Amino acid sequence: MDISITVTNRDNKTKKIIAPTDMNLNLMEILKVYEYPIEGTCGGMALCASCHIFINSKHDLPAISLSEKAILDDNWDTQPNSRLACQIPISKKIDLINIRLAPEI
């Protein structure tokens, strides 16, 4: 099954993308596949904040881990809806999620 994700980039342009739920990917990996400027320099370990996004819709997301919270707490542009894309697995739970890329770090 595929899900739909709405992404607003740093130029305020919005696009719908599709992601497969059967490949054990996370949101950061999908954004990289679609060539969004997401670095993911820590390899998805919640250590660098280069995949920082804002969640603009209500979804049942995994709880924020201590390491993700620590990275977001140290980030200058963190908002209440901030998450690290590497910590959000692609699943049917996030179908129709709406996200915005955070400013570049």
Summarised one tens digit per residue, pLDDT across range 1-16 is: 999 999 999 999 999 9
Write down the domain spans for the chain.
2-101
Longest CA–CA span in the chain (Å) reads: 37
CA pair distance 90, 74, nearest whole angstrom? 26
**What average pLDDT does this structure show over 16-40?**
96
Q: Report residue 3 as tokens.
A: 């899900």
| CATH number, domain 2-101 | 3.10.20.30
pLDDT digits (tens, 9 = 90+) for 41-99: 898 999 899 999 999 999 999 999 999 999 999 988 999 999 999 999 999 999 999 99
pTM beyond 0.75, yes or no: yes
Q: Fill in the DSSP letter of residue 18.
A: E
- Which residue, among 44, 90, 101, 37, has the nearest Cα to 67 in the 3D structure? 44
